[in-house]
Structure 1
């Protein structure tokens, strides 16, 4: 694979956790990695780790809540890469103060939506012109089983007690974004899918999840590497299709 045909992937929130592992695995698959993170110090440390493993990677500043950051990132990629093949919308937060609809702190709910949903939409819009230059673009939105309305409405579901208006709601909104964006971009050959990583031990949950980070990254990586005859507009985990 030459430098001109190497696929270029941007992963947001990639300085740690699932995002970092997705960057690693796509890099091992031969992609040139643009490691997106808010904090330059942490982002560059992550880059050094991946470079030591032989991965072609560089840091790019991406703050989902700062429009100027997204404009600058798009300009950087346009000038230095020319196009983008894969966008992984991985960055996400969960905050104290989120909770049941009757008691959740609305300021916290808004903050969660600003990153998990509005931020993902904003970075996607900023980078769409570059993705449309790809011969086979891919967008993977990292969602959650907690974003499934069907599962949230099932009292027998193993995570039925986790009722977080901000987090669950933002991931449900991400799922709707996936479906609508997939329909919009179908004619451009860009596949858009939502990945449910499963309950993975990360900083987001105090490392309480039963899955390892590589296990949590697996479905996102699979969707990022879909062949041209792969699906679009879906929501899936490693076990298969998830209900909306």
Structure 2
């Protein structure tokens, strides 16, 4: 059985994933931003016969993301699965641009920079526990990042900001897969399901088109079955291998985005 860190565990897809992973016998390190809700989730999983540990961090703060990585690595040296599930959605219709604690555009910060920073912090323990896997929860709604305005300071639209962040996450996944080739650690990115029935979708004024159960099956296939070990650097649409946005495979785009990412993570 695996030990799994699952970010964004307290609602929607994350909550369902946490219970399913625990039901299958895995130790689940559940993450949330609210300490009370996260502790309550861990207690509910324990009461249902599973094993869970609660960790709290605001993923809009890179300092908290890095501290989370240090804390989990120390408390769970057997960690072998990381699921980067937490995310910020489109926002309410007409909502304006928001910034993270570090001054980055909020969706880029939480949906992209946080998974990158957390993954980097946990790679040593994942490498030690190979075979291990990283699952990035992405989206089919990808829009190439404007590399001349990566912070989206001009013409901001929440839907596009979300899609830019998910494009960036796909590019990061493919770059990391190349880095990890032969290490025993795999990394894949998955679009779980289209407009699942979650608060993230409803708050954006969008009518749900699929169920949380559908999305859960897609993530579990990578996090808890051999599929996640047999693939590395693959984009999945649901449970099927597919193709991300064509520009996500462009070497020039990759170089420029990763360079900008390093600057953002150290600024």
Shorter-chain TM-score category? Answer: 0.7 to 0.9
Alignment partner of 1:18 is 2:18: no
RMSD: 2.4
Q: Secondary structure at the match of 1:180?
A: helix
**Aligned pair partner of 1:55 in 50, 53, 72:** 50
Compute the displacement of 1:96 (Å): 3.4
Determine the structure 1 residue equivalent to 2:175.
180
Alignment partner of 1:206 is 2:205: no
Give CA-to-partner distance per residue, 1:212-242, whole Å, 9 cap, x none.
2121111111101242851111111235223
Check conservation: 1:36, 1:62, Cα contact below 8 A: yes
Q: How does 1:78-227 map to 2 (within 5 A)?
A: 78-96=73-91, 105-107=96-98, 110-147=105-142, 164-198=159-193, 199-206=195-202, 208-227=207-226
Instruction: Normalising by structure 2, report the TM-score.
Output: 0.76
Partners of 1:39 and 1:135 lie apart in 2 by 31
Determine the structure 1 residue equivalent to 2:234.
234
Partners of 2:28 and 2:239 lie apart in 1 by 27
Distance 1:210 1:95, change over 3 A: closer
Check conservation: 2:131, 2:229, Cα contact below 8 A: no
Number of residue pairs matched?
Answer: 223
Q: Secondary structure at the match of 1:187?
A: coil
Compute the displacement of 1:47 (Å): 1.3
Partners of 1:97 and 1:41 lie apart in 2 by 25
Partners of 2:75 and 2:98 lie apart in 1 by 38
Partners of 2:186 and 2:67 lie apart in 1 by 25
Q: Secondary structure at the match of 1:13?
A: coil
Compute the displacement of 1:14 (Å): 0.5
Partners of 1:225 and 1:90 lie apart in 2 by 15
Check conservation: 1:16, 1:46, Cα contact below 8 A: no
Partners of 1:190 and 1:9 lie apart in 2 by 14
Partners of 1:231 and 1:193 lie apart in 2 by 7
Partners of 2:117 and 2:229 lie apart in 1 by 28
Partners of 1:77 and 1:116 lie apart in 2 by 20
Q: Secondary structure at the match of 2:141?
A: helix
